[in-house]
Structure 1
Amino acid sequence: MVATVYRNAVVFTGDPAAETAEAFAVEDGKFTAVGSLASVRGAVADATEVDLAGAFVAPGAIETHAHLMMFGESLSKVQLRDCNTVAEIQDRLVAARNAAPEAKRILGVSWRFEPISAAGADQPTAAMLDAVLPDVPVYLDANDLHSAWVNSAALAEMGITRDTPNPVGGEIVRDENGDATGFLLETAAVQYVWGFLQEAATDADRDHALDLAFDAYLATGVTGAVDMALMEPDFDAVMRRLDRDGKLPFPYYAHWMLTATGEEATDVAQIETVVRMRDKVEAAGYSEWFRIIGVKFILDGVIDACTAAMRAPYKNGDEPGPIWTAERARPVAVAADKAGLQIAMHAIGDAASDIALDALALVAEVNGPNENRRHRIEHLEYVAEDSIPRLAEIGVIASMQPVHCDPAVLENWKAVLGDERAENGFPWRKLRESGAHMALGTDAPTAPYQMPQNLYIALTGGSAIDPTLAPYHPERAFAPGEAIAAQTSGAAYASRIEHEVGRIAPGLIANAYVLDVNPLVAAPEALLTARVLRTLVAGDEAFAL
Structure 2
Amino acid sequence: MNPMDRKNTMTAKATHYRGGRIFTAAEPAWAESMIVEDSQLTYVGDTVTADALTRDADIVELDGAFVLPGFIDAHTHLLMMGQSLQKVDLQSAVDLAGIQDRIGRFAADNPTAPRILGRSWLFPALGGRPPTRQMIDAVEADRPVYLDSNDVHSVWVNSAALHELGIDDHTPDPLGGRIERDPATGHATGMLYETAVTQIVWPALAKVVTDHERDVALAAAFERYLADGVTGAVDMALGADEVAALERALAAGGGTLPLRVAGHWLITRTDSTEENVRQVREAATYAQRLQGPWLRMAGIKIIIDGVIDSCTATMKEPYSDGTNAEPIWDLESLAPVVTAADAAGLQVAMHAIGDEASEIGLTALEKAIAANGIRPRRHRMEHLETITKDNVQRLAQLGVVASMQPVHADPAIQENWRAVLGDHRVERAYPWPEMTSAGAVLALGSDAPTAPHPPLPNMYVATTRKSAIDPTLPPNLPEYALPMADALAHATRDAAYSCCWDDLTGQLVAGKAADFVVLDGNPFTDGAGSLLTSRVGLTVVAGRIRHRTTPRPL
Task: Identify the TM-score tier after normalising by the shorter chain.
Answer: over 0.9
For residues 133 and 419 of structure 1, what CA distance do their matches in structure 2 show?
Answer: 39
For residues 497 and 128 of structure 1, what CA distance do their matches in structure 2 show?
Answer: 47
For residues 512 and 419 of structure 2, what CA distance do their matches in structure 1 show?
Answer: 48
Once the two structures are superposed, the pairs formed by residues 104-115 of structure 1 within 5 Å of their partners are 104-115=114-125
1:255 equivalent in structure 2: 264
For residues 437 and 22 of structure 1, what CA distance do their matches in structure 2 show?
Answer: 28
1:165 equivalent in structure 2: 172
Q: Unaligned 5+ residue runs, structure 1?
A: none
Once the two structures are superposed, the pairs formed by residues 113-512 of structure 1 within 5 Å of their partners are 113-116=123-126, 118=127, 120-121=128-129, 123-175=130-182, 176-246=184-254, 247-281=256-290, 287-370=292-375, 372-512=376-516
For residues 78 and 8 of structure 1, what CA distance do their matches in structure 2 show?
Answer: 44
Per-residue deviation at 1:419? 4.5
For residues 43 and 311 of structure 1, what CA distance do their matches in structure 2 show?
Answer: 60
Q: Secondary structure at the match of 1:520?
A: helix
- Give 1:100's match in structure 2, choosing from 93, 110, 130: 110
Q: Unaligned 5+ residue runs, structure 2?
A: 1-11, 550-554
For residues 9 and 99 of structure 1, what CA distance do their matches in structure 2 show?
Answer: 48
Check whether the contact 2:305–2:353 (CA below 8 A) recurs between aligned residues.
yes
Residue-by-residue CA offset, 1:460-502 (whole Å, 9 max, x unaligned): 0000011111000111111011000001110111111111101
For residues 211 and 418 of structure 2, what CA distance do their matches in structure 1 show?
Answer: 43
For residues 529 and 83 of structure 1, what CA distance do their matches in structure 2 show?
Answer: 24
Q: Secondary structure at the match of 1:26?
A: strand
State the one-letter code of the partner of 1:196.
A
For residues 420 and 377 of structure 1, what CA distance do their matches in structure 2 show?
Answer: 23
Per-residue deviation at 1:517? 1.6
For residues 405 and 418 of structure 2, what CA distance do their matches in structure 1 show?
Answer: 20
The more displaced of 135-144 and 303-312 is 135-144
Q: Secondary structure at the match of 2:207?
A: helix
For residues 48 and 513 of structure 2, what CA distance do their matches in structure 1 show?
Answer: 22
Residue-by-residue CA offset, 1:158-189 (whole Å, 9 max, x unaligned): 11111112111000001122211000000001
Once the two structures are superposed, the pairs formed by residues 35-54 of structure 1 within 5 Å of their partners are 35-54=45-64
State the one-letter code of the partner of 1:82.
S
Check whether the contact 2:287–2:299 (CA below 8 A) recurs between aligned residues.
no
Q: Secondary structure at the match of 2:476?
A: coil
Per-residue deviation at 1:45? 4.9
Residue-by-residue CA offset, 1:192-243 (whole Å, 9 max, x unaligned): 1111111110111101110100000001111011110001111111122223
Q: Percent identity?
A: 48
For residues 414 and 453 of structure 1, what CA distance do their matches in structure 2 show?
Answer: 22
For residues 361 and 336 of structure 2, what CA distance do their matches in structure 1 show?
Answer: 13
For residues 480 and 30 of structure 1, what CA distance do their matches in structure 2 show?
Answer: 26
State the one-letter code of the partner of 2:298.
I
Residue-by-residue CA offset, 1:397-455 (whole Å, 9 max, x unaligned): 10000000001111102321115332221111211211111100000000011110000
For residues 30 and 206 of structure 1, what CA distance do their matches in structure 2 show?
Answer: 31
Check whether the contact 2:378–2:401 (CA below 8 A) recurs between aligned residues.
yes
Q: Are 2:114 and 1:88 equivalent residues in the alignment? A: no
Kindly report the root-mean-square deviation, in angstroms, between the aligned alpha carbons of the 2 structures.
1.1
Q: Secondary structure at the match of 1:54?
A: coil
For residues 211 and 28 of structure 2, what CA distance do their matches in structure 1 show?
Answer: 47
- Give 1:58's match in structure 2, choosing from 43, 63, 68: 68
Q: Secondary structure at the match of 1:171?
A: strand
Per-residue deviation at 1:83? 1.2
Q: Secondary structure at the match of 1:463?
A: coil
The more displaced of 95-104 and 398-407 is 95-104
The more displaced of 434-443 and 272-281 is 272-281
For residues 46 and 361 of structure 1, what CA distance do their matches in structure 2 show?
Answer: 56
For residues 38 and 212 of structure 2, what CA distance do their matches in structure 1 show?
Answer: 34
User: Cα 1:317–1:161, aligned 2, differ >3 Å: closer, same or farther?
Assistant: same
Q: Secondary structure at the match of 1:521?
A: helix
Q: Secondary structure at the match of 2:523?
A: coil
User: Cα 1:414–1:278, aligned 2, differ >3 Å: closer, same or farther?
Assistant: closer
For residues 67 and 406 of structure 2, what CA distance do their matches in structure 1 show?
Answer: 21
The TM-score normalised by the length of structure 2 is 0.95
1:20 equivalent in structure 2: 30
Q: Secondary structure at the match of 2:537?
A: strand
